[in-house]
Structure 1
Amino acid sequence: MDIRIHASFLPHDDPDAALAFYRDLLGFEVRNDVGYGGMRWITVGPKGQPTSIVLHPPAADPGITEPERRVIAELMAKGSFAALTLATEDLDGVFERLVAGGADVVQEPADQPYGIRDCAFRDPAGNLIRINQL
Protein backbone atom coordinates (compact mmCIF):
# COMPACT_ATOMS: atom_id res chain seq x y z
CA MET A 1 0.00 0.00 0.00
CA ASP A 2 1.37 3.43 -0.97
CA ILE A 3 -0.10 6.06 1.35
CA ARG A 4 1.57 9.42 1.94
CA ILE A 5 0.83 12.44 4.05
CA HIS A 6 -0.31 15.15 1.68
CA ALA A 7 -1.42 17.91 4.04
CA SER A 8 -1.83 18.72 7.72
CA PHE A 9 -4.08 21.43 9.06
CA LEU A 10 -3.19 24.02 11.68
CA PRO A 11 -5.49 26.83 12.78
CA HIS A 12 -4.49 30.47 12.51
CA ASP A 13 -6.17 33.60 13.78
CA ASP A 14 -4.01 36.12 11.87
CA PRO A 15 -3.10 35.23 8.28
CA ASP A 16 -0.41 37.90 7.96
CA ALA A 17 1.32 36.77 11.16
CA ALA A 18 1.08 33.14 10.00
CA LEU A 19 2.73 34.06 6.68
CA ALA A 20 5.48 35.97 8.47
CA PHE A 21 6.24 32.88 10.57
CA TYR A 22 5.91 30.06 8.05
CA ARG A 23 7.10 31.85 4.91
CA ASP A 24 9.54 34.44 6.23
CA LEU A 25 11.04 32.70 9.28
CA LEU A 26 10.80 29.01 8.35
CA GLY A 27 11.35 29.64 4.63
CA PHE A 28 8.33 27.65 3.44
CA GLU A 29 6.88 28.43 0.04
CA VAL A 30 3.29 29.63 -0.27
CA ARG A 31 1.37 27.19 -2.43
CA ASN A 32 -2.09 28.63 -2.10
CA ASP A 33 -3.68 31.67 -0.49
CA VAL A 34 -7.45 31.68 -0.74
CA GLY A 35 -9.96 34.04 0.82
CA TYR A 36 -13.67 33.44 1.17
CA GLY A 37 -16.32 35.05 3.34
CA GLY A 38 -13.82 37.19 5.26
CA MET A 39 -11.64 34.14 6.06
CA ARG A 40 -8.34 33.01 4.58
CA TRP A 41 -6.76 29.58 3.98
CA ILE A 42 -3.01 29.53 3.32
CA THR A 43 -1.16 26.44 2.15
CA VAL A 44 2.60 26.38 2.78
CA GLY A 45 5.29 23.76 2.57
CA PRO A 46 9.01 23.13 2.43
CA LYS A 47 10.53 23.81 -0.98
CA GLY A 48 11.04 20.64 -2.98
CA GLN A 49 8.75 18.53 -0.78
CA PRO A 50 5.16 17.54 -1.61
CA THR A 51 3.84 17.72 1.98
CA SER A 52 1.84 20.84 2.86
CA ILE A 53 0.44 22.60 5.89
CA VAL A 54 -2.95 24.23 5.46
CA LEU A 55 -3.28 27.20 7.80
CA HIS A 56 -7.00 27.60 8.27
CA PRO A 57 -9.38 29.81 10.22
CA PRO A 58 -10.80 27.73 13.08
CA ALA A 59 -14.21 29.33 12.59
CA ALA A 60 -14.54 27.89 9.07
CA ASP A 61 -16.08 24.54 10.03
CA PRO A 62 -19.86 24.94 9.76
CA GLY A 63 -20.40 22.06 12.21
CA ILE A 64 -18.77 23.93 15.09
CA THR A 65 -21.09 25.79 17.43
CA GLU A 66 -20.35 29.22 18.84
CA PRO A 67 -19.54 27.83 22.32
CA GLU A 68 -17.13 25.37 20.65
CA ARG A 69 -15.50 28.24 18.72
CA ARG A 70 -14.91 30.06 22.00
CA VAL A 71 -13.30 26.95 23.53
CA ILE A 72 -11.05 26.56 20.46
CA ALA A 73 -10.04 30.24 20.70
CA GLU A 74 -9.23 29.79 24.40
CA LEU A 75 -7.16 26.64 23.74
CA MET A 76 -5.30 28.39 20.90
CA ALA A 77 -4.55 31.37 23.17
CA LYS A 78 -3.09 28.96 25.77
CA GLY A 79 -1.08 27.15 23.10
CA SER A 80 -2.69 23.79 23.72
CA PHE A 81 -4.90 23.24 20.66
CA ALA A 82 -2.58 21.99 17.89
CA ALA A 83 1.01 20.89 17.36
CA LEU A 84 3.40 19.97 14.56
CA THR A 85 6.85 18.38 14.52
CA LEU A 86 9.37 19.41 11.87
CA ALA A 87 12.92 18.13 11.31
CA THR A 88 16.19 19.67 10.13
CA GLU A 89 19.84 18.77 9.80
CA ASP A 90 20.82 22.13 11.38
CA LEU A 91 18.77 22.44 14.55
CA ASP A 92 21.00 25.08 16.14
CA GLY A 93 21.02 27.20 12.97
CA VAL A 94 17.23 27.04 12.63
CA PHE A 95 16.85 27.85 16.32
CA GLU A 96 19.07 30.94 16.01
CA ARG A 97 17.20 32.09 12.90
CA LEU A 98 13.84 31.79 14.65
CA VAL A 99 15.11 33.55 17.79
CA ALA A 100 16.53 36.38 15.66
CA GLY A 101 13.14 36.65 13.95
CA GLY A 102 11.35 37.07 17.28
CA ALA A 103 9.68 33.65 17.47
CA ASP A 104 8.16 32.60 20.80
CA VAL A 105 10.65 30.09 22.28
CA VAL A 106 9.18 27.26 24.36
CA GLN A 107 12.34 25.13 24.65
CA GLU A 108 15.92 25.72 23.60
CA PRO A 109 17.73 22.89 21.78
CA ALA A 110 18.12 19.96 24.17
CA ASP A 111 19.01 16.27 24.10
CA GLN A 112 15.88 14.39 25.14
CA PRO A 113 16.08 11.19 27.22
CA TYR A 114 14.28 9.32 24.42
CA GLY A 115 17.18 9.95 22.00
CA ILE A 116 16.10 13.05 20.07
CA ARG A 117 17.67 16.50 20.12
CA ASP A 118 14.98 19.12 19.60
CA CYS A 119 13.65 22.58 20.38
CA ALA A 120 10.17 24.07 20.47
CA PHE A 121 8.38 27.29 19.54
CA ARG A 122 4.84 28.59 19.34
CA ASP A 123 3.62 30.00 16.06
CA PRO A 124 1.63 33.25 16.13
CA ALA A 125 -1.64 31.32 16.72
CA GLY A 126 -0.16 29.44 19.69
CA ASN A 127 0.39 26.13 17.90
CA LEU A 128 3.31 24.17 19.35
CA ILE A 129 6.04 23.65 16.74
CA ARG A 130 8.74 21.15 17.72
CA ILE A 131 11.83 20.85 15.55
CA ASN A 132 13.91 17.67 15.67
CA GLN A 133 17.56 17.30 14.69
CA LEU A 134 17.95 14.77 11.85
Structure 2
Amino acid sequence: MTQQNPTVWVTLQAHDPLELIDYYVDTFGFVLTARHGGDTVKHAELLWPEGSGGIMLGAHQPGAGWCREPGTAGAYVVTADPDGCYERVVSRKADIVRPLADTDYGAREFTVRDPEGNLWNFGDYTGEQRD
Protein backbone atom coordinates (compact mmCIF):
# COMPACT_ATOMS: atom_id res chain seq x y z
CA MET A 1 0.00 0.00 0.00
CA THR A 2 1.38 3.40 -0.97
CA GLN A 3 1.28 6.06 1.73
CA GLN A 4 -0.36 9.31 0.66
CA ASN A 5 1.28 12.66 1.16
CA PRO A 6 -0.12 14.71 4.05
CA THR A 7 -3.16 16.81 3.34
CA VAL A 8 -2.64 19.07 6.38
CA TRP A 9 0.73 20.69 7.07
CA VAL A 10 2.01 22.75 9.99
CA THR A 11 3.65 25.79 8.37
CA LEU A 12 6.41 27.65 10.19
CA GLN A 13 8.92 30.38 9.62
CA ALA A 14 12.20 30.47 11.49
CA HIS A 15 14.95 32.93 12.27
CA ASP A 16 17.41 30.01 11.87
CA PRO A 17 15.69 27.42 9.67
CA LEU A 18 18.78 25.23 9.30
CA GLU A 19 19.05 24.87 13.09
CA LEU A 20 15.32 24.22 13.40
CA ILE A 21 15.39 21.52 10.72
CA ASP A 22 18.29 19.78 12.46
CA TYR A 23 16.45 20.04 15.79
CA TYR A 24 13.26 18.49 14.39
CA VAL A 25 15.18 15.63 12.82
CA ASP A 26 17.51 14.91 15.76
CA THR A 27 15.29 15.72 18.75
CA PHE A 28 11.80 14.83 17.54
CA GLY A 29 12.58 12.25 14.83
CA PHE A 30 11.00 13.97 11.83
CA VAL A 31 12.35 12.96 8.41
CA LEU A 32 13.61 15.71 6.08
CA THR A 33 12.18 15.07 2.61
CA ALA A 34 12.89 18.36 0.81
CA ARG A 35 14.94 21.52 1.28
CA HIS A 36 15.20 24.33 -1.26
CA GLY A 37 17.08 27.62 -1.26
CA GLY A 38 20.45 26.71 0.25
CA ASP A 39 21.32 28.44 3.52
CA THR A 40 18.32 30.77 3.12
CA VAL A 41 15.87 27.81 3.17
CA LYS A 42 13.02 29.11 1.08
CA HIS A 43 11.06 25.86 1.58
CA ALA A 44 11.63 22.63 3.52
CA GLU A 45 9.41 19.63 4.20
CA LEU A 46 9.65 17.20 7.09
CA LEU A 47 7.38 14.18 7.61
CA TRP A 48 6.38 12.49 10.85
CA PRO A 49 7.48 8.84 10.47
CA GLU A 50 4.49 7.41 12.37
CA GLY A 51 1.75 8.89 10.24
CA SER A 52 0.71 11.25 7.53
CA GLY A 53 1.50 14.64 9.07
CA GLY A 54 4.20 17.05 8.06
CA ILE A 55 5.89 20.38 8.54
CA MET A 56 6.66 22.97 5.88
CA LEU A 57 9.07 25.67 6.95
CA GLY A 58 11.29 28.39 5.63
CA ALA A 59 13.25 31.45 6.62
CA HIS A 60 11.37 34.33 8.23
CA GLN A 61 10.80 37.00 5.57
CA PRO A 62 9.19 40.13 7.03
CA GLY A 63 6.98 41.86 4.52
CA ALA A 64 6.25 38.71 2.53
CA GLY A 65 2.63 37.82 1.89
CA TRP A 66 2.70 34.66 4.01
CA CYS A 67 4.76 36.07 6.87
CA ARG A 68 4.25 35.02 10.47
CA GLU A 69 6.36 35.71 13.52
CA PRO A 70 8.57 32.71 14.37
CA GLY A 71 7.94 31.02 17.68
CA THR A 72 4.18 31.60 17.87
CA ALA A 73 2.88 28.22 16.64
CA GLY A 74 1.67 25.12 18.41
CA ALA A 75 1.09 21.59 17.15
CA TYR A 76 -0.04 18.19 18.43
CA VAL A 77 1.80 15.13 17.12
CA VAL A 78 0.28 11.69 17.58
CA THR A 79 2.72 8.97 18.57
CA ALA A 80 2.03 5.33 19.40
CA ASP A 81 4.88 5.48 21.94
CA PRO A 82 4.70 8.66 24.04
CA ASP A 83 7.06 7.19 26.65
CA GLY A 84 9.74 6.41 24.05
CA CYS A 85 9.28 9.77 22.37
CA TYR A 86 9.60 11.51 25.75
CA GLU A 87 12.82 9.60 26.53
CA ARG A 88 14.23 10.70 23.18
CA VAL A 89 13.52 14.43 23.65
CA VAL A 90 14.70 14.41 27.29
CA SER A 91 17.95 12.70 26.28
CA ARG A 92 18.54 15.55 23.82
CA LYS A 93 18.00 18.17 26.53
CA ALA A 94 14.79 19.57 25.02
CA ASP A 95 12.95 22.37 26.82
CA ILE A 96 10.15 20.40 28.51
CA VAL A 97 7.19 22.66 29.22
CA ARG A 98 4.90 19.93 30.58
CA PRO A 99 6.34 16.53 31.55
CA LEU A 100 4.87 13.24 30.38
CA ALA A 101 1.59 12.55 32.15
CA ASP A 102 -1.82 10.97 31.74
CA THR A 103 -4.65 13.41 30.98
CA ASP A 104 -8.23 13.40 32.23
CA TYR A 105 -9.37 12.60 28.66
CA GLY A 106 -7.39 9.35 28.48
CA ALA A 107 -4.24 10.46 26.66
CA ARG A 108 -0.58 10.18 27.64
CA GLU A 109 1.33 13.26 26.47
CA PHE A 110 3.92 15.98 27.07
CA THR A 111 4.81 19.44 25.77
CA VAL A 112 8.14 20.75 24.43
CA ARG A 113 9.27 24.24 23.34
CA ASP A 114 11.52 24.24 20.27
CA PRO A 115 14.50 26.63 19.86
CA GLU A 116 12.30 29.23 18.11
CA GLY A 117 9.63 29.13 20.85
CA ASN A 118 6.94 27.00 19.15
CA LEU A 119 5.09 24.56 21.41
CA TRP A 120 4.85 20.88 20.48
CA ASN A 121 2.59 18.37 22.20
CA PHE A 122 3.35 14.70 21.66
CA GLY A 123 0.85 12.09 22.78
CA ASP A 124 -1.28 9.13 21.92
CA TYR A 125 -4.59 11.01 21.62
CA THR A 126 -5.93 10.49 18.08
CA GLY A 127 -9.07 12.61 18.47
CA GLU A 128 -12.68 11.72 19.11
CA GLN A 129 -14.11 8.79 17.18
CA ARG A 130 -16.25 9.77 14.21
CA ASP A 131 -19.50 8.06 13.28
Higher helix share: 1
| Residues 32-51 of structure 1 deviation map (CA, whole Å, 9 limit, x = unaligned) | 11117945422100237543
| Residues 59-109 of structure 1 deviation map (CA, whole Å, 9 limit, x = unaligned) | 266237xxx87xx35xx2xxxx10110011211111111011121111111
The RMSD of aligned alpha carbons is 2.6
Q: What is the aligned-residue identity percentage?
A: 28
In structure 2, the partner of 1:41 is 43
TM-score (norm 2): 0.75
Distance change (3 Å), C-alpha of 1:61 and 1:37? farther
Distance change (3 Å), C-alpha of 1:44 and 1:37? closer
Counterpart amino acid of 2:105?
Answer: Y
Distance change (3 Å), C-alpha of 1:86 and 1:102? same
TM-score (norm 1): 0.74
Query: Which sections of structure 1, spanning at least 5 residues, go unmatched?
Result: none
The answer as to 2:131 corresponding to 1:129 is: no
Would you say how many aligned residue pairs link Structure 1 and Structure 2? 120
Query: Which sections of structure 2, spanning at least 5 residues, go unmatched?
Result: 1-5, 126-131
Distance change (3 Å), C-alpha of 1:128 and 1:51? same
Once residues 38 and 10 of structure 1 are traced to their aligned partners in structure 2, the CA distance between those partners, rounded to angstroms, is 14
